[in-house]
Amino acid sequence: MKVGGDAYRSIWVEDDARTVGIIDQTRLPFEFVTTRLESLDAAVEAIVRMRVRGAPLIGVTAAYGVCLRMRTDPSDAALRAACKTLLATRPTGRNLRWALDAMGAALDAAAPAERERRAYARAAELAEDDVRSCRAIGEHGLRVIEEAFERRGSRGAVNVLTHCNAGWLATVDWGTALAPVYRAHERGIPLHVWVDETRPRNQGASLTAWELGQHGVPHTVIVDNAGGHLMQRGLVDLCITGSDRTTATGDVCNKIGTYLKALAARDNDIPFYVALPSSTIDWDLADGAAIPIEERAAREVGVVAGRAADGSVVEVAILPPGSPVANYGFDVTPARLVTALITERGICDASAEGLVGLYPEPRAPG
Ligand code: MRU
């Protein structure tokens, strides 16, 4: 997608065919800074500090983390240890495990001398696969925006509400929830996006608003609690969010607060779609309640970063000293609240039957 008119992906291999370029997402929206990952440790740090985030991008970054390790030590022990360390970085998203399984399958049987070359080739395939999937999600999801536009008749732009950042910064390119938005915008369908700010890290306000702004997509940032009110007033035509892990029965786990939007959407008869590549599907899980929910540092809730009047980026404390904090990163929206899943293979019911209809191939238990 575009940054200042130039095409970018969120991750790439640099010209030296070795180091890995990323956009440091902790610096947005105030500064656009790219940085190089030169080692496994740097890849781990980038995921843990959320320089890269979003389930699909975390998966691809982990794959490149394995590549960086295979450069210095292609032994079995180093491969196993790298996968173990990477897997422990963020517990909720499924794509991380998916990417590491794919890397393991490609490298396990290879002779150590072959591993570096194979690792880079496989990681590049995973990145391309993600781009293809997200582009296809955009094509399929375009239909639901077109339908919403038709339902509006002559009443102007379609209003889409989204939560967190499930745009191109969360994937390698295009995004999941935002891919249909970008396709509709390219098609000239008038649309406007309500962007939940997404406390505590503000991925909506900092990243989604920035992305949409770069592409000229009309949008408005709202506080997290505004969505229900807008729905009651008829100001939302449909919701689209992403998913970090999707159960085989269609429950979806996404950024904390997603569930409340789904509840409000149901109460107001507003379609609630979840867009996801199949790399988020956990075929071994039937119940969303079993998904591990990441609990993050109290500091994220108690300290807010922003730009001061003199242009510097500063942090300010917002809590009474000593107040305890709970910081759950994700929540689970039960399948019954999801209108449909938008995947790279098409749109299906959020149910076991719906998912198996699109993905009928046999799967070995994970
Ligand atoms: O904590 P983050 O910023 O990694 O959370 C990201 C989300 O919750 C996205 O909605 C999710 O990864 C799905 S989108 C591609």
Query: Quick one: 122 and 146 in the same domain?
Result: no
Residue 155, pLDDT score: 87
State the closest ligand 1 atom to the C-alpha of 93, by its place in the atom list counted from 1: 12
Residue 262, pLDDT score: 98
What are the phi and psi torsion angles at 352 (to 5°)?
-60, -45
- In the reported structure, the alpha carbon of residue 169 is separated from the centroid of ligand 1 by a whole-number distance in angstroms of 10
Of 285, 282, 277, 284, the closest CA to residue 345 belongs to 277
Query: Quick one: 221 and 300 in the same domain?
Result: yes
What CA–CA distances, in Å, run from 106 to 83, 99, 111, 121, 126? 13, 11, 11, 10, 11
Residue 324, pLDDT score: 98
- Under a CB-based contact definition with an 8 Å cutoff, are residues 134 and 179 in contact? yes
Query: Quick one: 207 and 332 in the same domain?
Result: yes
Query: Quick one: 146 and 121 in the same domain?
Result: no
Of 54, 36, 15, the closest CA to residue 280 belongs to 54
Instruction: For residues 94 and 58, give the distance between their C-alpha atoms in angstroms, rounded to a whole number.
Output: 10
Query: Quick one: 144 and 125 in the same domain?
Result: no
255 lines ligand 1 (CB under 6 A): yes
251 lines ligand 1 (CB under 6 A): no
254 lines ligand 1 (CB under 6 A): yes
Query: Quick one: 122 and 206 in the same domain?
Result: no
- Residue at 364 is within a domain: no
Query: Quick one: 172 and 106 in the same domain?
Result: no
Q: How many domains does the chain have?
A: 2
- Residue at 218 is within a domain: yes
Query: Quick one: 245 and 194 in the same domain?
Result: yes
- Residue at 181 is within a domain: yes
351 lines ligand 1 (CB under 6 A): no
Hey, is 89 helix, strand or coil? coil
Residue 364, pLDDT score: 75
Hey, is 328 helix, strand or coil? strand
pLDDT, tens digit, 9 for 90 and up, residues 241-276? 999 999 999 999 999 999 999 999 999 999 999 999
- Residue at 116 is within a domain: yes
What single-letter amino acid sits at 203? Answer: Q
- Residue at 150 is within a domain: yes
- The domain boundary, picked from 103, 129, 155, lies at 129
Q: Domain containing 217: what range?
A: 140-358
- In the reported structure, the alpha carbon of residue 216 is separated from the centroid of ligand 1 by a whole-number distance in angstroms of 22
Instruction: For residues 254 and 241, give the distance between their C-alpha atoms in angstroms, rounded to a whole number.
Output: 8
Query: Quick one: 145 and 114 in the same domain?
Result: no
- Residue at 363 is within a domain: no
Catalytic residue (choose from 196, 244, 282, 331): 244
Residue 244 annotated as catalytic: yes
Query: Quick one: 110 and 172 in the same domain?
Result: no
- In the reported structure, the alpha carbon of residue 153 is separated from the centroid of ligand 1 by a whole-number distance in angstroms of 33
Hey, is 199 helix, strand or coil? coil
pLDDT, tens digit, 9 for 90 and up, residues 332-349? 999 999 999 999 999 999
Query: Quick one: 352 and 226 in the same domain?
Result: yes
Domain CATH number, residue 55: 1.20.120.420
Taking 50 as the pLDDT cut, the residues of the chain under it are none
166 lines ligand 1 (CB under 6 A): yes
Residue 366, pLDDT score: 66
**β-pairing, 272-275 with 238-241?**
parallel
176 lines ligand 1 (CB under 6 A): yes
Overall pTM > 0.95? yes
* Closest C-alpha residue for ligand 1 atom 6: 54
Query: Quick one: 101 and 148 in the same domain?
Result: no
Residue 281, pLDDT score: 98
Q: How many angstroms separate the first and last alpha carbons of the chain?
A: 34
- The domain boundary, picked from 129, 160, 193, lies at 129
- Residue at 365 is within a domain: no
Instruction: For residues 260 and 246, give the distance between their C-alpha atoms in angstroms, rounded to a whole number.
Output: 17
